[in-house]
Amino acid sequence: MSPTGFLDPNEILNQLSLEKDMVAVDFGCGSGGWVIPLARKLDDGIVYAVDVQESALSAMMSKANLQGISNIKKVLADIEKGVKQIESSSINLVLMTNLLFQVDDKEAVFKEAKRILKESGKVLVIEWDLESPFGPMQENRISSGGVQEIAQKVGFVLEKEIETSGYHYGLLFNLLKK
Rg (alpha carbons) of the chain, rounded to whole number: 15
Is residue 2 domain-resident?
A: no
Q: Give per-residue pLDDT as tens, 38-94.
A: 999 999 999 999 999 999 999 999 999 999 999 999 999 999 999 999 999 999 999
Range of the domain at 49: 9-175
Q: What is the pLDDT of residues 40-50, one digit of tens each?
A: 999 999 999 99
Question: Does a structural domain hold residue 83?
Answer: yes
Does some domain include residue 136?
A: yes
Determine the pLDDT at residue 178.
61
Average pLDDT, the chain: 94
- Categorize the per-residue pLDDT at 137 as very low, low, confident or very high, splitting at 50, 70 and 90: confident
Residue 124, strand partner residues = 95, 172
Give the Cα separation of 138 and 140 in Å (integer). Answer: 5
4 lies in some domain: no
Instruction: Please check whether residue 113 is in contact with residue 88, taking contact to mean a CB–CB distance below 8 angstroms.
Output: no
Is residue 3 a part of any domain in this protein?
no
Residue 32 near residue 49 (C-beta atoms within 8 A):
yes
Q: Is the dihedral of CA 47, 35, 82, 93 positive or negative?
A: positive
Helix axes of 106-116 and 144-154: crossing angle, nearest 10 degrees: 50
The mean per-residue pLDDT over the stretch 90-113 comes to: 97
Residue 96 lies in a domain: yes
Q: State the Cα–Cα distance between residues 31 and 107, nearest whole angstrom.
A: 24
- The reply to whether 36 falls in a domain is yes
- With 80 as the cut, is the pLDDT of residue 128 above it? yes
**CATH code, 107:** 3.40.50.150
Q: How many domains does the chain have?
A: 1
pTM of the model as a whole: 0.94
Distances (CA, A) of 113 to 31, 47, 136, 141, 156: 21, 14, 24, 20, 10
pLDDT (0 to 100) of residue 5? 55
Which pLDDT value is given to residue 165?
77
